[in-house]
Structure 1
């Protein structure tokens, strides 16, 4: 059954946000990503659930055409589609020639202040919304559109900011989503985690506070400091003794560790960082897992390039992309090793679940 075509002259095509994707991306894949960010997302109209209408005319074949589906993202936003895109439509709307299908976003327009003229613009939002960045529901929807396009190899054609101006095309680079997070209910002590990480990156080391504390300087509590001249000497000594007891207690019986990290120096390619912490605020897709009902342990595997400004650029330099290409396999290897040790779920930089077999 054929999909309905996108009319390039319609208001939907010219005045709304468009999510354009390769032709082989199915509605089920898009629904999975929607539920990952919007827990109540669901099809109000399945793309193939309603009765088909007949396409063609008197001179052409009569082909059954599937009605467009409606995917509810939030109370104010829905996604209509998929629609097919041919080369003529892609040219008229300034879309990539690789685009095969499109979804039209029906959402309220909610804009805030003009974007700051300097700083990073990794996703191109400053370029797409020069008169005011999306806020509230539209901000969440646009952020998800860009994330979905990055995950699925597609693009977002932002609605024109004003009449007579073409909408900006945002083509997020899938390769820029380097970081991975392993979510689990298993806590590894620092030395155990380091052993796992070193299976993938032998040069890794723990990033923990170092050095010993030898107590306060000699004479502390015996002599008054500015502002305490009127304090009774016995009271002053008692306060410092209580402080010493507290410090000794913490040093001999420290509270349970709640977070730690590990690093690996990649020389010219920057640093690989693993951040381990207990979390109670979880991405929706992880919060829905039964074992994470009370929280989860996050093992965040991040790449930090030598030039952080380049990482936030919409079009990073060649040297950044080369370094990223060398660092990405290491991030994947570390995430695989951690997942093998603690199991759980893996999410990408957009908080979408990743099958370990796909890494």
Structure 2
């Protein structure tokens, strides 16, 4: 087990909860009949010896040990009971009660780039970041650990990632119902009376008068904007001034038409100013990718609308910090009730489902 990734969880987490989280991210999740490495199943009353990683001794299994396939080459085998001394030996939190042994391919790419590392994966893999299936599995493991209050032990390096359960507070309401901006604003204002429609601060009246005029091509000099104009001149046998006059007339006519007939907006937003705690934004638009677990819902077969309730702190870079500052955590703690209440209010009007940042569904009653 020391050579593979482990998903370590506290007490009270059932296997079906892990299965649902897997089905929220991966397609074709299923329980396999056999177990990798010739492992055998065990009942609640059986006691089976574990590998030398946890000491060669009998440990009671908390449930029948099975293999949950989450990818073409990846399975989660477990759950295995983890005693307190086992957790200490593996560097896991002492609150760990069960663990899943992750049989996944080892696929590594380039060294991590500089920048934020909220999940801690750059710290765990300094010599080469996971790619392809291993990357997808590890990202899901960290997200599942955050949702369930657990940890991830990363293979031979032994680096333990314990994501902050409060580190991801954004919520998304997924529904088939489209609300007009005034309807969304009314729902949000029941929670935050100072909410307002996000609107542009200025208007566009077309290009500056005379833009593009008076620029002539000089032989031997680079053409502004590339070689398209000179090529067109050669093809049509037109002089520089004739072609420019034609192009400018066409562009001015198009600009005038668009000013008179602006396209219908495909999305909009509502903003709530929290002062020193940042901003909560409700971003509305069509969602093209829904969690796999929702794909069988009848209303999700057609167009799905997403109402994303996002919190943005004053220092945006803190969102990607694995261990953000105290000030950030205090502001986040004050923003959480606002985000949750707004998501509930929008869901009460639109129906549908609520998903967290990781695409895991959330019961509105739990918010």
Give me the TM-score of the superposition, normalised by structure 2.
Answer: 0.83
Equivalent runs, 1:57-206 vs 2, <5 Å? 67-116=64-113, 118-161=114-157, 167-206=158-197
Q: 1:281·1:295 contact (CA, 8 Å) conserved in 2? A: no
Task: Tell me, yes or no, if structure 1 residue 251 matches structure 2 residue 239.
Answer: no
Offset at 1:39? 1.8
User: 1:42 aligned to 5, 30, 52, which one?
Assistant: 30
Equivalent residue for 1:164? Answer: none
CA 1:210–1:91: 2 relative to 1, 3 Å:
closer
Partners of 2:172 and 2:248 in 1: CA distance: 44
Q: Contact 1:272/1:301 (CA < 8 Å) preserved in 2?
A: yes
TM-aligned CA deviation for residue 91 of structure 1: 1.4
2:156 alignment partner, SS class: coil
Q: CA deviation at 1:256?
A: 2.2
**1:245 to partner: Cα distance:** 3.9
Measured in 2, the distance between the counterparts of 1:101 and 1:203 equals 46
In 2, are the aligned partners of 1:185 and 1:344 still within 8 Å (CA)? yes
Q: State the 1:285 CA deviation.
A: 3.0
Q: Determine the C-alpha separation between the residues in 2 that align with 1:145 and 1:220.
A: 54
The question of whether the paired residues in 2 share the 8 Å contact of 1:280 and 1:294 is answered with no
Asked if structure 1 preserves the Cα contact closer than 8 Å seen for 2:150 and 2:162, the reply is yes
Alignment partner of 1:27 out of 8, 12, 15: 15
Q: Which runs of 5+ in 1 are unaligned?
A: 1-11, 162-166
CA–CA distance in structure 1, aligned partners of residues 60 and 178 of structure 2: 57
Give the root-mean-square deviation of aligned CA atoms. 2.9
Normalising to structure 1: TM-score of the pair?
Answer: 0.84
State the SS of the aligned residue for 2:270. Answer: strand
Q: 1:28 to 1:56 in 2, by over 3 A?
A: closer
Using the TM superposition, give the Cα deviation of residue 294 of structure 1 relative to its aligned residue in structure 2, in angstroms: 3.4
TM-superposed CA distance for 1:232, in Å, is 5.7
The count of aligned residue pairs is: 335
3-state SS of the aligned residue for 1:299? strand
Deviation (angstroms), 1:262: 2.1
In structure 2, stretches of 5+ residues that fail to align are 50-57, 218-228, 230-237
Q: Which residue of 1 aligns with 2:314?
A: 306
For 1:256 and 1:342, how far apart are their aligned partners in 2?
Answer: 21
SS at match of 1:183: strand
Per-residue CA shift, 1:216-243, capped at 9, x if unaligned? 556679x65445994566x766655544
